[in-house]
Amino acid sequence: MEVKLNESILDSLRRFNSLASQLCPVHNFIIDCSKMPKAEDFNLNLRKHGFFGEMFTELDKISSPCLYWFMCINESEAAKSKENLIQFRHNMGIHSRNVPAPNKNTNSKYLYLGIRQGGVRKKDGLTNIASRIFQHLGYYSVGSTQGLQLVHWAKLKLKLVILELPSEVKPYLNIFEKFYALKLRPVIGQH
């Protein structure tokens, strides 16, 4: 017996295509890692001050699923950042911070790509995307939670782009991530 795959998944493909054709809000932030406060000086309340205050005020309004990426100004900066992360990763026992693995991608200015389910955390009211970016910045108190941990190793300017997706995307979120990973070819993270 043989089955055509498209007959089995045609409705899902139509729905995916319909979702992919929608216009989605985009949020852009420039993060100068060399000017970030030291991690030991940082606490959750500092999210309300300075640049972090502006960024997290906006992030705390996003409760829908998101696709996000960190990008460097050029491919050379991304390659250098990848090497810095590899060195930091090599010394993980010293600083107890878990970072994503590098991958084989080269010649890309995209550092990292991720997704986040929508929602709000019950314990502190942070939206899921705000919480995840907080972890990537490296200020989360639990070092075993994987993230870029930028404050601990990065000294460059990055652009953070967050694509706010419709809530109906939830069953297709991993598929969107795979497609974007193929297009952007981030140098860090496994897809």
pLDDT digits (tens, 9 = 90+) for 48-98: 767 788 898 999 999 999 999 999 999 999 999 999 999 998 886 666 788
Segment 16-24 long-range contacts (CB within 8 Å, at least 24 positions apart): 16/172, 16/175, 19/165, 19/166, 19/168, 19/169, 19/172, 20/176, 22/166, 24/163, 24/164, 24/165, 24/166
User: Has residue 8 been placed in a domain?
Assistant: no
Residue 13 lies in a domain: no
Residue 156 resides in a domain = yes
Question: How far is Cα 112 from Cα 189, in angstroms, rounded to an integer?
Answer: 6
Percent pLDDT > 70 in the chain is: 91
For the chain, what is the mean pLDDT? 87
- Give ∠ CA 93-94-99 in degrees, rounded to 5: 60
Residue 109 falls inside a structural domain: yes
Q: Is residue 189 part of a domain?
A: no
Q: Is 3 within a domain?
A: no
- pLDDT, residue 90, reads 83
Q: Tally the domains of the chain.
A: 1
CA 138 to chain centre: 13
Per-residue pLDDT tens digits for 137-171: 988 777 778 899 999 899 999 999 999 999 999 99
* Residue numbers of the domain that contains 67: 25-184
pTM score of the predicted model: 0.89
In a domain, 20, yes or no: no
- With respect to residue 190, please indicate whether it lies within any of the assigned structural domains: no
